[in-house]
Amino acid sequence: MRYLPIDNQLFVENRARLTNLLRPSSVAVLNANDAMPTNADGTMGFRQNNDLFYLTGVDQEETILVLAPHHPDPTLRQVLFVRETSEQIAIWEGAKLSKTQAQQTSGVEQVRWTSDFEATFKQIIFEVDSVYLNTNEERGAGDVQTRDGRFIENFKVQFPLHRLERLAPLLRQLRSAKSAPEIALLQTAINTTEKALRGVLGFVKPGVWEFEIEAEITHTYLKNRSRGHAFQPIVAAGKNACVLHYIENNAQCQSGDLVLIDTGAEYANYNADLTRTFPVGGRFSPRQRQIYDAVLRIQQRAKTMLKAGTLFADYNKEMQPVIESELIGLKLLDKTAVENQKMDAPLYRKYLPHGLSHHLGLDVHDVGSRFVPMQAGMVFTCEPGLYVPEEGIGIRLENNVLITKNGNIDLSASVPIEADEIETLMHQTP
């Protein structure tokens, strides 16, 4: 992989934390993601199942992890299965991990070939009562069947009398709070994203195409050991910025436009997610500056709410009057209308239709329950925006914030965000 080797103690500790949550006499099984097809014999770039990566650090297809912490045979308590390489595979795809390399990457002592899985699994399964199987339970998950999904179907046929348990809630609990090594990997992704955003400050100008800005960002990511974009980047000039998930990136930046850039580097499978909005001509118009400063004030207030013990419901409730006040000040909302609005249909949603924050980590919208109070180790985006299509103005500002026991730390605090600083940098950068 492009990224530097990760100390396997991270994965050893992650497995230990998971096994402490498993029932006695149980086994947990996790499968790698599939290599997904494009057309004909083409395939998409492989992206590992994040749960499997979290527990092993192995970034290779056809990998299986089996955890049976109470098995009477110590050699079967943790077994990692990896795809066996061959001369033919090495010629066409490159060599796969050897058993020794898989041991070094994951810290799992017992590594076997994937072809040995069925025989080994039968040695394990009849010594346990409960079986933890993995599924993607996150909101908005697609309906493409996964290797985990196929395994569940086959398991029910072969072993119908075992008690099935859901693994996803346990991994959600563990993955939502990041350890120090994970935060360091996230910080690397954020730092790379900062380099890219600083790099385009001097590139953005009238006549530049959105896809050219994307290309500059991509170049910075790749030369800094990133796999590339953590998600399809948004480079939205003018009225395009009012389309929340605009990804065409095929328009030309015009003088007087703002350009909204929502991007993040992926490093070692961990993701940044930052947004900045720049004036194409290097200066904000008075109205653009007025709305920009309003968004910045909303973000500054929202960041103070990101602290241990806060519930998302309370966070959103406290932020609503702040947002409404700014919109009234911008003459986008009428104070009397706000006072008489329906509680279940707040008027500010016309100009801010998305949430203010989401979990961040191995997934860009990372696992974590919105009904569990924020706690130390969690990382959240903080991303208010105001979108005024009738004025062709869309502004979003997004930072990445770590919750600590004593408040929070903005991991992206050094990324330029004040309007004056942005204007100065855009005129200084060659």
CA gap 366, 286 in Å, rounded: 37
354 catalytically annotated:
yes
Residue 365 appears among annotated catalytic residues: yes
Distances, alpha carbon 330 to alpha carbons 91, 143, 284, 338, 391, in Å: 63, 42, 16, 14, 12
Q: Is 41 a catalytic residue?
A: yes
What span, in angstroms and rounded, lies between the C-alpha atoms of 67 and 84? Answer: 21
Q: Please pick, among 246, 292, 348, 387, the residue that the annotation labels catalytic.
A: 387
Pure H helices in 207-305: 210-222, 286-305
- Region of 341 (left: φ > 0; alpha: ψ -120 to 50; beta: rest) is beta
Residue whose entry in the numeric block shows the structure tokens 């103070």: 304
Q: Is 398 a catalytic residue?
A: yes
Of 62, 210, 324, 383, the catalytic one is 383
Is 77 in the active site?
A: no
Active-site annotation holder among 15, 77, 227, 358 = 358
Q: Please confirm, yes or no, whether 391 is among the known catalytic residues.
A: no
Beta-strand pair 163-166/385-388: unpaired
* Residue 396: active-site member: yes
Catalytic residue of the set 262, 266, 326, 366 = 262
Q: Catalytic one among 2, 166, 219, 245?
A: 245
Catalytic residue selected from 77, 147, 162, 396? 396
* Residues in contact with 329: Cβ distance below 8 Å, sequence separation at least 6, in sequence order: 294
270 is known as an active-site residue? no
Check if 262 is active-site.
Answer: yes
Choosing from 266, 273, 326, 423, the catalytic residue is: 273
Q: Sheet of 379-382: strands edge to edge? A: 379-382, 399-404, 407-410
- CA–CA separation, 267 and 271 (whole Å): 6
Cα 340 from Cα 349, distance rounded (Å): 15
Q: Say which residues have a Cβ less than 8 Å from residue 9's Cβ, sequence separation at least 6.
A: 107, 181
Per annotation, catalytic residue among 47, 365, 370, 410: 365
Residue 240 sits at φ, ψ, to 5 deg, of -60, -25
Q: Considering the candidates 354, 391, 420, 427, report the single residue annotated as catalytic.
A: 354
Q: Which residues are catalytic?
A: 41, 245, 262, 273, 354, 358, 365, 383, 387, 396, 398
